[in-house]
């Protein structure tokens, strides 16, 4: 990998991180994605699953739809997808089907990752298309976004639970 590629990967991942931060501000899981073609960002988004209440509203799926509209085609050949979290099975399958050339992701997803963690759908040679994968770009930032988000959720849940506890009377 060239120095320019590495530099570009960090630049575009920073854009994906900015998208993830947008998700966090509206209470969505902070995952962001950008789709790049020939050095130009042609699509960008973040998770909207809670907002839209649709299963497929992952950042990758939204960006792929935007890319399809950009090209008026289901094929996204020669595109690179940057995403802050390793793609899940649904997203990995869609990436393969859309013929995206390369995926660059930040944090591993040990519970649902299908670009190497649980399995590697993106590079399975049984499919008619394989994707080049680069992992760990801005990994610490991407992982910490998610860890902090879920830590806050757990703290909020704990506080709500404590507020619901009946207050014990101190009078006898």
Give the pLDDT band (50/70/90) at residue 158.
confident
Helix (H) or strand (E) holding 14: helix 3-25
| Domain segments of the chain as ranges | 9-152
Q: Which whole number is the average pLDDT over 33-39?
A: 97
88 is in an annotated binding site: yes
The highest-level CATH class for domain 9-152 is alpha beta
pLDDT of amino acid 165: 75
Active site residues: 60
Report in angstroms the alpha-carbon separations of 126 from 98, 134, 172: 16, 20, 73
Query: 65-97 pLDDT, tens per residue?
Result: 999 999 999 999 999 999 999 999 999 999 999
pLDDT at 54 > cutoff 90: yes
91 is in an annotated binding site: yes
pTM: 0.91
Average pLDDT, the chain: 94
pLDDT of amino acid 122: 98
pLDDT at 169 > cutoff 70: no
pLDDT of amino acid 167: 61
Q: Which whole number is the average pLDDT over 54-68?
A: 98
58 is in an annotated binding site: yes
- Whole-number Å distance between alpha carbons of 155 and 162: 11
Yes or no: say if 64 and 94 are a contact pair by the CB < 8 Å rule.
Answer: yes
Report in angstroms the alpha-carbon separations of 122 from 61, 89, 127: 15, 9, 9
């Amino acid at each position: 990998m060239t120095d320019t590629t590495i530099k570009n990967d960090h630049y575009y991942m920073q854009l994906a991180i900015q998208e993830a931060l947008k998700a966090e501000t509206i209470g969505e899981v902070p995952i962001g994605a950008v789709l790049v073609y020939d050095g130009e960002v042609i699509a960008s988004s973040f998770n909207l699953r809670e907002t839209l209440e649709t299963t497929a509203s992952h950042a990758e799926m939204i960006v792929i739809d935007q890319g399809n509209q950009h090209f008026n085609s289901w094929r996204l050949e020669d595109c690179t997808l940057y995403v802050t979290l390793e793609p899940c099975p649904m997203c990995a399958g869609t990436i393969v089907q859309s013929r995206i050339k390369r995926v660059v992701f930040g944090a591993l997803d040990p519970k649902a990752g299908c670009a190497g963690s649980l399995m590697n759908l993106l590079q399975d040679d049984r499919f008619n298309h394989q994707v080049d994968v680069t992992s760990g770009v801005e990994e610490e930032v991407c992982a910490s976004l998610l860890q902090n988000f879920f830590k806050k959720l757990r703290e909020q849940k704990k506080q709500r639970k404590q507020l619901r506890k009946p207050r014990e009377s101190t009078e006898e």
